[in-house]
């Protein structure tokens, strides 16, 4: 490992993603880093694991400033690689990992053993979980773990195989809040469909806790386009929002029984509210470009202040399609005088799709 002083140098960028989306994840990282700085062999498919090699070593601080997880769509977790530790003995993996981590010449605020969420990665995530306690114990003994000093980097130990781990660093504000970037959400008993978890995850992943407190409040009004059977509507109603649910299909009785929901049978592309609302959410199965244009129109025209929406991706050229949708939204928003922020993310509960958050900022 090549580590200098208190500003460790990094040889790679490591990301976890949904298995099958390695090319998109890697493509996005290479674009953010600049092709001249990377040597990036094609990532192995269905591994859920991406490592983009850097041609030269880069200071951790510089990478952390330049590559932000919140601006990436396909990375669930992100860290900057310090090197690989191979041939970890089965009887004691902790000692060689600790010795390798010393080379970073810094204590850590957290130790995060991780693995990909793929067929090959699943047994490794069991191993990673079992190592949490022994790693924390030994790092604490060695004075290398200071959980209260949140400004210190977090150490990621990403298992690529039972005997091989990649070490990486992240800062708490530039990494997922959940191990492996996966928030574990329990299916609420009253919800009519599992897709309620998608909106629950979107609120947690696309907004930080302070934003969520300020921007999603009981008493607000929301519109849900493509609402049936009502998982998203139920999620909003549970949070105290009054919801107009637009869908020609039937809404589940449990959702209507909340007393917070008005069901309107109409086309989500042409229906408009009489008064501006706080939120518009949209889960209609349609071409992503059409959804992007519709959402931008609602926010740019002030019909809603903010929106969460799902974009179903095509089978091929998925990254291109995401860039195209981004461009559609940027163009429409720039034509209005409204400031905005756009975040796009492939959530754990997303399959061949991504979820977006578009909000007015003034």
Ligand X SMILES: C[S@@+](CC[C@H](N)C(=O)[O-])C[C@H]1O[C@@H](n2cnc3c(N)ncnc32)[C@H](O)[C@@H]1O
Catalytic residues: 312
Q: Does 178 bind ligand X (CB under 6 A)?
A: no
Q: Does 226 bind ligand X (CB under 6 A)?
A: yes
Q: Does 285 bind ligand X (CB under 6 A)?
A: yes
Q: Which 3 state secondary structure label does DSSP give 51?
A: strand
Stretch touching ligand X by CB under 6 A, among 93-101, 125-133, 156-164, 241-249:
241-249
Q: Does 153 bind ligand X (CB under 6 A)?
A: no
Helix axes 318-335, 288-300, angle to 10 degrees: 20
Q: Does 247 bind ligand X (CB under 6 A)?
A: yes
Joined together, the tokens standing for residue 78 give: 């992100």
Distance separating alpha carbons of residues 113 and 273, to the nearest angstrom: 48
Q: Does 315 bind ligand X (CB under 6 A)?
A: no
Nearer of residues 146 and 221 to ligand X, judged by Cβ: 221
Our CA angle for 172, 175, 177, nearest 5°, is: 80
Q: Does 258 bind ligand X (CB under 6 A)?
A: no
Nearer of residues 216 and 227 to ligand X, judged by Cβ: 227
Q: Does 190 bind ligand X (CB under 6 A)?
A: no
Q: Which 3 state secondary structure label does DSSP give 183?
A: coil
To ligand X, the closest distance from the beta carbon of 266 in angstroms equals 7
Sheet with 38-39: list strands edge to edge. Answer: 38-39, 49-59, 9-16, 77-85, 164-170, 154-161, 110-114
Stretch touching ligand X by CB under 6 A, among 40-48, 130-138, 202-210, 262-270:
262-270
| DSSP assignment of 175-226 | S-SSGGG----PPPTT-SSTTHHHHHHHHHHHS-HHHHHHHS-TT-EEEEES
Among 232, 279, 298, 340, binds ligand X (CB under 6 A): 232
Residues that bind ligand X (CB under 6 A): 193, 195-196, 226-232, 246-249, 267-269, 283-285
């Amino acid at each position: 490992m090549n580590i200098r002083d208190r500003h460790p140098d990094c040889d790679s960028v490591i990301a976890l993603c949904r298995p099958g989306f390695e090319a998109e994840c890697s493509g996005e990282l290479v674009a953010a880093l600049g092709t001249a700085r990377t040597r990036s062999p094609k990532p192995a498919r269905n591994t859920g694991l991406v490592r983009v090699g850097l041609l030269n070593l880069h200071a951790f601080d510089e990478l952390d400033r330049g590559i932000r997880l919140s601006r990436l769509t396909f990375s669930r977790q992100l860290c900057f690689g310090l090197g690989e530790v191979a041939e970890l003995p089965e009887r004691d993996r902790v000692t060689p990992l600790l010795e390798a981590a010393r080379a970073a010449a810094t204590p850590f605020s957290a130790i995060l053993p991780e693995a990909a969420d793929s067929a090959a990665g699943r047994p490794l995530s069991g191993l990673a979980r079992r190592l949490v306690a022994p790693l924390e114990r030994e790092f604490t003994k060695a004075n290398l773990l200071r959980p209260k000093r949140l400004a210190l980097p977090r150490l990621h130990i990403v298992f690529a195989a039972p005997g091989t781990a990649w070490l990486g660093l992240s800062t708490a504000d530039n990494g997922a809040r959940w191990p492996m970037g996966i928030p574990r959400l329990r299916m609420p008993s009253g919800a009519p469909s599992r897709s309620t978890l998608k909106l629950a995850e979107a609120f947690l992943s696309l907004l930080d806790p302070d934003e969520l407190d300020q921007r999603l409040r009981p008493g607000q009004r929301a519109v849900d386009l493509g609402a049936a059977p009502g998982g998203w509507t139920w999620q909003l109603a549970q949070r105290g929002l009054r919801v107009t649910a637009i869908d020609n299909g039937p809404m589940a009785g449990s959702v209507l029984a909340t007393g917070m929901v008005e069901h309107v049978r109409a086309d989500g592309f042409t229906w408009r509210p009489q008064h501006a609302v706080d939120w518009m959410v949209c889960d209609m199965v349609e071409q992503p470009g059409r959804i992007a244009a519709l959402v931008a129109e609602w926010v740019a025209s002030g019909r809603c202040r903010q929106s969460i929406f799902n974009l179903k991706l095509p089978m091929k050229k998925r990254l291109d399609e995401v860039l195209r949708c981004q461009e559609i939204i940027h163009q429409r928003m720039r034509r209005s005088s409204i400031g905005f922020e756009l975040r796009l993310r492939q959530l754990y509960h997303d399959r061949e799709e991504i979820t977006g958050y578009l909000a007015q900022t003034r």
